[in-house]
Structures are given as C-alpha cells and as structure tokens.
Amino acid sequence: MIRSSLTGLVALAALSTFSAPATAQEAAEPKVNQLIIFGDDKCPESDGGEIVVCARKAESERYRIPAILRDTQSPQNEAWTNKVLAYETVGRGGAQSCSPVGPGGWTGCASKLIRDAYAEKATGSDVKMAELIAAERAKRLSTIDADAAETQKRVEQAEKDYLARQKALDDEEAAKKAAAAPKP
C-alpha cells in the first residue's frame, strides 16, 4: 500500500513537471510560485516576472502532516471490495498480468501502475496545482490585448512626435540655407 502512495506521489510530480511545456522555440515562461496558504493568510502579490498561485486550506491543517501521509495503510483499513478484487486476481498469470509467473507476466505492470495512478488521482482530495496555474495564466492572458493596444498607441504617438521634430529640424535647416545663400 505504501508503494501505491509513492506511485501516486511520483505520478503527481511527473504531472506537475509537464503542466507547463517549455521548448527552445517558445518564449520563456514566467516563473510559477506555488504556495499553500492557510486560513485567512494573504496570498503574496506577484511581480511582473512570476505567476503566484495560492491554494487555500483550512486553518486546522496548518501544522498537520499532509493527508496523504497521515492515512494508515494497514489491512484493517482496507475496503472489503479491494480485498475481493485482490482475490479475483490471485491466480492470474501470463501476459498482461503484472506477475512474475508465466511468460510475459511483466507486460501488464506499466498499465497497472497507470491505472493505479489515475485511480488515486481521481479519489485524491489534494490541491490540483496544474488547474490553479492554468486559471492564473488565463487571467494574465486576458489583459494582454488591452496592454498591447495601449503600447501600440504610445508607439504611434512617439513616432508622430519624432517625425514632427524631424520635420521641424529639416525646415529650420532649409531656412538657414536659404538665409545664407547669396541673393541674385
């Protein structure tokens, strides 16, 4: 049973590493700061270079061992249906069985690990950081259009100002040349 908990933790760690794809061709992703806060604690503000994602838990959970670690894995706490399922697969051997018995018994081990990880994920009550990160990214992306329009207006105004200054300098230079030229 401890192995299934560890498998779940490994699967959770693997999923969290793949939640934000990073390739050399894409722009650098902002740093993601994942925090678990308790009670009425304030979530720290993010600066421009990072995304802060806060998951709120009850104040009573602040100094407790995480729920996944404090559940006991003793046979007395196992559900009767799990015991029955175990009896159904006792004599199973051969291909796709994940057992050391028979030829190809190892072939079902990967699918068993995947099934166990998905079952643990579906029944887990822990914080789903990937969903919180996706929501925070969507919130940030919703302001990009307005920010881009504002930046575009500033750039266009700066171009107009530059062209006006350049034209004034050219006119002044032309006026100086005309004044310095001999009159016929």
Each residue's pLDDT tens digit, 104-119 = 777 888 888 888 888 8
Instruction: Please indicate, yes or no, whether residues 83 and 150 belong to a single structural domain of this protein.
Output: no
Q: What is the dihedral of CA 175, 176, 177, 182, to 10 degrees?
A: 100
pLDDT band at 46 (very low <50, low <70, confident <90, very high): confident
| Residue 128: closest CA among 30, 7, 5, 19 | 19
Instruction: Please indicate, yes or no, whether residues 105 and 169 belong to a single structural domain of this protein.
Output: no
Instruction: Please indicate, yes or no, whether residues 109 and 174 belong to a single structural domain of this protein.
Output: no
Is 4 in a helix, a strand, or coil?
helix
Is 128 in a helix, a strand, or coil?
coil
Instruction: Please indicate, yes or no, whether residues 91 and 173 belong to a single structural domain of this protein.
Output: no
Q: What are phi and psi of 129, to 5 degrees?
A: -65, -35
Lowest mean pLDDT among 6-15, 97-106, 152-161: 6-15
For residues 114-127, give the mean pLDDT: 79
Instruction: Please indicate, yes or no, whether residues 77 and 109 belong to a single structural domain of this protein.
Output: yes
Q: Which CA distances in Å does 57 have to 5, 64, 66, 95?
A: 21, 11, 11, 44
Instruction: Please indicate, yes or no, whether residues 107 and 17 belong to a single structural domain of this protein.
Output: yes
pTM of the predicted model, to two decimals?
0.34
State residue 37's pLDDT score.
92
Instruction: Please indicate, yes or no, whether residues 73 and 163 belong to a single structural domain of this protein.
Output: no
- C-alpha to C-alpha distance for 93 and 66, rounded to whole angstroms: 37
Q: Residue type for 18, please?
A: F
Instruction: Please indicate, yes or no, whether residues 91 and 154 belong to a single structural domain of this protein.
Output: no
Q: How many domains does the chain have?
A: 2
Element (H, E) at 138: helix 129-141
Instruction: Please indicate, yes or no, whether residues 131 and 180 belong to a single structural domain of this protein.
Output: no
Range of the domain at 173: 145-184
Instruction: Please indicate, yes or no, whether residues 124 and 152 belong to a single structural domain of this protein.
Output: no
Instruction: Please indicate, yes or no, whether residues 25 and 102 belong to a single structural domain of this protein.
Output: yes
Average pLDDT, the chain: 78
Q: Which CA distances in Å does 87 have to 82, 84, 120?
A: 9, 5, 21
Instruction: Please indicate, yes or no, whether residues 88 and 112 belong to a single structural domain of this protein.
Output: yes
Q: What are phi and psi of 4, to 5 degrees?
A: -65, -35
